[in-house]
């Protein structure tokens, strides 16, 4: 049963990445927000590098990501998502969680994270490729 639930979350996450336009929710002032698992906190997509607005996360959270470099000169590219603590104007490197680093024609995945040193995060996507990300409660 757990495997079916997990597959359901993956299918819904991928569907959201493929079909939803860019959007994000308003920031929460809560120190440790109570967020139900699977709740989308932020969804953003683009075709160049970008920085997200800051967002509040619970103790555990997931980053669902995908990239497609078919729009680049050679059909290849690097896709990097840097994780920061804080706000867009005052961000500090998140030393607890690892950044996403991938290269190739395309890719997708889910990263599982903890709050670490801060319950406010900012993501910086660095790529020349088309991409999409969703942040979810875990």
In angstroms, the CA 65 to CA 87 distance is 21
- 44 vs 32: CA distance, rounded Å: 23
Most confident of 5-9, 17-21, 117-121: 117-121
Q: Kindly report the backbone phi and psi dihedral angles of residue 67, in degrees, each rounded to the nearest multiple of 5, phi listed first.
A: -145, 155
Q: Output the pLDDT for position 39.
A: 81
- Encoded tokens for 5: 């639930």
The residues, ordered by sequence, that sit 6+ positions from 6 with a Cβ below 8 Å of its Cβ are: none
Q: pTM of the prediction?
A: 0.74
In this structure, are residues 137 and 35 in contact, taking their beta carbons and an 8 Å threshold? yes
Q: What percent of the chain has pLDDT over 90?
A: 59
What pLDDT shows up at residue 31? Answer: 54
Q: How confident is the model at residue 28 (pLDDT cuts 50, 70, 90)?
A: very low
Could you give all domains of the chain from N- to C-terminal order, each with its CATH number? 2-137 (2.60.120.380)
């Amino acid at each position: 049963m757990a495997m079916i639930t997990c597959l359901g979350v993956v299918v819904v996450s991928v569907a959201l990445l493929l079909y939803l336009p860019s959007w994000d929710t308003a920031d929460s002032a809560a120190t440790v927000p109570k967020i139900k698992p699977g709740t989308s906190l932020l969804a953003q997509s683009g075709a160049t590098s970008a920085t997200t607005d800051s967002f509040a996360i619970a103790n555990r959270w997931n980053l669902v990501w995908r990239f497609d470099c078919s729009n680049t000169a050679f059909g290849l590219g690097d896709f990097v998502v840097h994780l920061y603590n804080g706000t867009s104007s005052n961000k500090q490197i998140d030393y607890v969680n690892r950044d996403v680093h991938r290269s190739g024609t395309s890719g997708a995945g889910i990263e599982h994270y903890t709050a670490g040193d801060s319950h406010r995060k900012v993501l910086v996507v660095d790529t020349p490729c088309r991409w999409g990300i969703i942040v979810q409660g875990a």
